[in-house]
Amino acid sequence: MNQQHQDERTRIREAMDRLLTGQATISNGSLTVVALAAEAEVHRMALLKRHVDLKNEFYERVRNETRQVPEPEKRLRDTVTRLKKTSANQKAEIEELRRQVTRLTLASAVLTHESDRQAERTPVSDNVVPFRRSTT
């Protein structure tokens, strides 16, 4: 590791300590990677690409030391809950639509049958040839 890389890691660890003790100096003090990057004065992508281990360590410390769920995890849990609810609503709607299709199909069959019976009872002129309905 070069010196610049080592300096970044040191600044990130110091920033972690400040954020977890509530003594943020540069960032807004939230327990997120964005705030950690701002507090350490490194680019956010440095945490997400070069220092993934420190990002994971930060979130682990957030969980253990503050007994809080990290913000990204909260957002993911909210998204999962919302998506599960949406999925359940869509499944219920699909089932209702299937029942409606069945009812409409049955109603169409009854009306077609009644129409055929009525056509059979209607007297036809001698010069009219009725067309037979297709059964498909």
User: Could you say which DSSP state residue 108 is in?
Assistant: H
pLDDT category of residue 113 using cuts at 50, 70 and 90: confident
Domain ranges of the chain: 3-68, 74-117
User: Could you say which DSSP state residue 127 is in?
Assistant: T
pTM of the entire predicted model:
0.53
Mean pLDDT of 87-101: 96
pLDDT in tens, 44-77: 888 888 899 999 999 888 888 887 777 778 888 8
Q: How many residues does the chain have?
A: 136
Residue 59 or 82, more confident: 82
Phi-psi region of 3 (alpha: psi -120 to 50; beta: other; left: phi over 0): alpha
| Cβ 11 vs Cβ 27: under 8 Å | no
Residue 30 has pLDDT above 80, yes or no: yes
Mean pLDDT of the chain: 86
pLDDT of residue 92: 96
